[in-house]
Amino acid sequence: MKNYTKIKDISNLSETIKDAILLKMNPFEFQDLGKHKTLVMLFFNSSLRTRLSTEKAAKNLGMEVMMLNINDAWNLEFEDGTIMNMDKSEHIKEAAQVISQYADVIAVRAFPTLEDKAKDESEYILNNFKKYATVPIINMESATAHPLQALADAITITELTEKAKPKVVLSWAPHPKALPQAVANSFIEMMQELEVDLTITHPKGYELSKEITKNTPINHNQEDALKDADFVYVKNWSSYNDYGKVLNQDDNWMLTKAKLGHAKFMHCLPVRRNVIVEDAVLDSEQSVVIKQANNRTYAAQVVLKQILEGL
């Protein structure tokens, strides 16, 4: 693996999932692989799970980890040819090349603006790091994708499914603030690669990019969509067509125990209780969100392992 910025960077998904599950059983087996190798983690945005799980994954492999919150450094310019006489002190061209010399792998977290669709879709932060860095890049959630989360989700479903082809439903849920589409996008793309029967349900106006959803069935009737589900992944996202807008806060879309049926409940966390999902779901045995979060470590670790093996 050269970079891990999108689902398609995984060449053999079922092998990768199996490998992650093996790492979970024996996290320190490859502790020499990362010796004298450094992961630099760069944060443009807040992080809890991604930060801790990726740091832990790297250390399990014997890597050194260096952290940088970008606001501890300089505002970066991403445009070409600008006269940098405003608030940006350093160009990504220099920053990415320089950090590459202190790192063997660079991991970047950079959320979308949710205001400028074209800019967000260009993935200008992540892609400029890919363009100018001279070491592999890992996406710790970008404007449009969260592939480490999706890999943890795939590991979780693989571990917990009782069927050869489970029914998986991705359901939108209400949220007071505008959130990115990244988690939903990557989850859909990942499920399209797995042996699952995927359905998406959301209110009208919350259609995701057709380049992501492709032929996956979309049902605007949540109750109908949830019928006989084995896994229900709930997530809010803001409108993609009416870009970054909160169009709907209808709490009938909150997931309840009654709607969940016998399914397992998934969410990437952080989750707002009694807004996205009621307490009765999260506090039940059917919630697997804590296991999902645990798998973040092994998703990151298998990605780092494959990258280190390819160095």
Helix (H, G, I), strand (E, B) or coil at 231: strand
Residue selected from 22, 74, 115, 223 as contacting a second copy according to rule CB under 8 A: 74
- Whichever of 18 and 88 has its CB closer to a second copy, that residue is 88
Residue 292 marked ligand-binding: no
234 Cβ neighbours under 8 A, 6+ residues apart: 170, 171, 172, 173, 255, 265, 266, 267, 276, 277
Distance between CA 216 and CA 123 in Å, rounded?
A: 24
Q: Which stretch binds a second copy (CB under 8 A): 145-153, 156-164, 210-218, 273-281?
A: 273-281
Residue selected from 20, 40, 108, 191 as contacting a second copy according to rule CB under 8 A: 40
Residue selected from 17, 99, 145, 281 as contacting a second copy according to rule CB under 8 A: 99
Between the two ends of the chain, the Cα-to-Cα distance in Å is 9
Binding to a second copy, residues 282-311 (CB under 8 A): 282-283, 289-290, 293-294, 297
Helix (H, G, I), strand (E, B) or coil at 32: coil
Distance between CA 201 and CA 220 in Å, rounded?
A: 5
48 Cβ neighbours under 8 A, 6+ residues apart: 270
192 contributes a contact to a second copy by CB under 8 A: no
Residue by residue, what is the 3-state secondary structure of 60-107?
HCCCEEEEEEHHHCCCEECCCCCCCCCCCCEEHHHHHHHHHHHCCEEE
164 contributes a contact to a second copy by CB under 8 A: no
CB of 285 to a second copy, least distance (A): 14
241 contributes a contact to a second copy by CB under 8 A: no
Residue selected from 25, 83, 118, 164 as contacting a second copy according to rule CB under 8 A: 83
Binding footprint of a second copy, residue count (CB under 8 A): 60
- Whichever of 81 and 204 has its CB closer to a second copy, that residue is 81
Residue 176 marked ligand-binding: no
Distance between CA 195 and CA 252 in Å, rounded?
A: 30
Give the footprint of a second copy on this chain (CB under 8 A).
Answer: 27-28, 36, 38, 40, 43, 46-49, 51-53, 55-56, 59, 64, 66, 68-69, 72-74, 77, 80-86, 88-91, 93-95, 97-99, 101-103, 176, 269-275, 279, 282-283, 289-290, 293-294, 297
Binding residues for N(2)-succinyl-L-ornithine: 141, 175, 235, 272
